[in-house]
Chain A
Amino acid sequence: MATNTIHGNNESAQPNNIASSKQPLPPAKTVDSQSVLRRLQSELMALMMSGDSGISAFPEEDNIFFWKGTITGSKDTVFEGTEYKLSLSFPNDYPFKPPKVKFETTCFHPNVDVHGNICLDILQDKWSSAYDVRTILISIQSLLGEPNISSPLNPQAAQLWSNQEEYRKMVEKLYKSGN
């Protein structure tokens, strides 16, 4: 009850929200959409104000739940000078659940499969609602230079990672053919 009164000023839908969240599967997910919207707008503002180099993201024209992002390969890595587009799809219970993030550009990386799916712990079981788009993009950017070879989605890339020169050539070749 206390939370009811405390959040009574937010939206009239919030009490319903509490009631629905008590059930294992929230049936009316649209109730959340207002707060998700607010959160995503806040994230967009923070991302644009942050001025981080090498990462950017912006919502699709008519759907703030679907963003297009770009990251550039960090300096002194085999991915230097390459740029990768990603798609971010936010669930209705974001940020309590992570967004689905995929590479749209072909990325030859041990932890990215041929469909662009990313194996990154913070996008799965290590997700925290304190993460946001900015931290996701920064994490993926650092993942490029520091792959987890032990559990690869792309075994060929994992195998080739030890030879950085060859790997660099492969990255450039696939990047040019991909574009």
Chain B
Amino acid sequence: MVSDSISAVPIPSAANTKNPGKKKRTNRSAKLKQYKIDARREQWLSQGVVKSKGCKDGVDDDVVHAPPPSVNHGKHSLEPLNTRREGEEDDGLIHHDSDSESPTNCPAGVLCGNDSGTNFTGSSSGGSSSSSSSSSSGGCCSGNITEEEGEEEEEEGEDDDDGCLDDWEAMADALAADDKHENPCSDSPPVVLPREGSNLESPNSKPESSRLVPWGSGSSRAWRADDAFRPQSLPNLSKQHSMPNPDRRCVGGVPWARVSTPSSCPICCEDLDLTDTSFLPCFCGFRLCLFCHKRILEEDGRCPGCRKPYECEPVETEASVHGGSLTLRLARSCSMIERS
């Protein structure tokens, strides 16, 4: 079935003859998982190249509309393709599918390694792989290769995603990220466009994949302005980050602090780090770095801001011993107590 569908592709190139060999090699040395993944990736890539060539030569329409159909085909390839594969034994129809649809799938799916990529491999080599991992029944395709492919798929799914078979999409994303690193030269241009489409499509097609998308896309690329998730999550995060600062200013709303929360120590002019800026040793709000404070304590022990002796030394010493976050809390509580 594999060789059939591939040979039906308009342009039989060296990659075509290479594919079955690779598959056999994969089957033989299927012990090492990483090796299998690499072989699969190469196979996808080579097929992608072939099919995209085929697109250019044979099916011109698909080339023009390459990015939008990838979205549609990503959906189609999930189930309809598989069911059609399993249901219809007619070679002509299948070949027709692999000619017209899979070429558009391959730049999108194979190179970006998304769900359509998995499905495409399934469509050319065997539908059971994608159907088994995407939890539709399936798995009854004939041929050793397809069954083993399915098993491999399951193994990989288990290994990569801790037994969560539904994470095939995330795994595919991870593979794509590896692909990008390892083969940056040949396929970087096609990767960009299809990935947009597939990522836009993913939240619609699979509800449970929405929790996966931030992880996968975060590892592979930054948020895009047109990304569906960006407006909801990112602004909230930035608000959370910006919240503590005014909060702290309100707590330490004392003359020195209100004039300016200095970025550098007024005594030694060194930059204040987080611990220093959260360090409020005196009622008057005069801030200084821990080093200068320590030194002043050893000399006359009076606050440079108000000339009054520093009072709550035990608390400060304790605060300065601990780490940053704890110091922050202690300093805040200290200032709260002082004010009340």
Q: Which of B290, B295, B302, B305 has the most CB of A within 10 A?
A: B295
**CB of A14 closer than 8 Å to a CB of B:** yes
The residue on B at minimum CB distance from A97 is B299
1/0 contact trace for A80-122 toward B, CB 8 Å?
0000000000000001100000000000000000000000000
**CB of A18 closer than 8 Å to a CB of B:** yes
Known: A1-B321, A2-B320. A7 touches B289 (CB 8 A): yes
Q: Which of A1, A9, A130 has the most CB of B within 10 A?
A: A130
Contact B267 A130 (CB under 8 A): yes
B268 partner residues in chain A, CB cutoff 8 A: 35, 38-39
**CB of B304 closer than 8 Å to a CB of A:** yes
Question: Which interface class (under 10, 10 to 19, 20 to 34, 35 or more) fits A?
Answer: 20 to 34
Shortest distance from the beta carbon of A97 to any chain B beta carbon, whole Å: 9
Q: When A and B form their complex, what is the total count of cross-chain residue pairs whose Cβ atoms lie within 8 Å?
A: 62
Contact B307 A18 (CB under 8 A): no
Partner of B290, one of A7, A96, A128, A129: A7
Distance between Cα atoms of A42 and B307 in the complex (Å)? 23
Contact A3 B304 (CB under 8 A): no
Contact B290 A18 (CB under 8 A): no
Contact A130 B320 (CB under 8 A): no
**CB of B64 closer than 8 Å to a CB of A:** no
Task: Enumerate A1-22 residues with CB–CB distance to B below 8 Å.
Answer: 1-3, 6-7, 9-10, 14, 17-18, 21-22
Contact A3 B299 (CB under 8 A): no
A9 partner residues in chain B, CB cutoff 8 A: 273
Contact A95 B267 (CB under 8 A): yes
The residue on B at minimum CB distance from A36 is B268
**CB of A126 closer than 8 Å to a CB of B:** yes
Partner of B267, one of A7, A39, A126: A39
Known: A1-B321, A3-B294, A21-B298. A130 touches B289 (CB 8 A): no
A129 partner residues in chain B, CB cutoff 8 A: 267, 292, 296, 304
1/0 contact trace for B291-325 toward A, CB 8 Å?
11011101100101101000000000000111000
A1 partner residues in chain B, CB cutoff 8 A: 321
Partner of A18, one of B275, B286, B294, B299: B294
1/0 contact trace for B248-267 toward A, CB 8 Å?
00000000000000001011
Contact B304 A22 (CB under 8 A): no
**CB of B161 closer than 8 Å to a CB of A:** no
Distance between Cα atoms of A45 and B45 in the complex (Å)? 61
Task: Enumerate B230-282 residues with CB–CB distance to A below 8 Å.
Answer: 264, 266-270, 273, 275-276
The residue on B at minimum CB distance from A46 is B269
Distance between Cα atoms of A127 and B305 in the complex (Å)? 11
Contact B298 A22 (CB under 8 A): yes
| Interface of A toward B, CB cutoff 8 Å | 1-3, 6-7, 9-10, 14, 17-18, 21-22, 35, 38-39, 41-42, 95-96, 126, 128-130
**CB-defined A-B contacts under 8 Å, sample of 17:** A2-B290, A3-B290, A6-B273, A7-B270, A17-B291, A35-B268, A39-B267, A42-B269, A95-B267, A96-B267, A96-B295, A96-B296, A126-B307, A128-B302, A128-B304, A128-B305, A129-B304
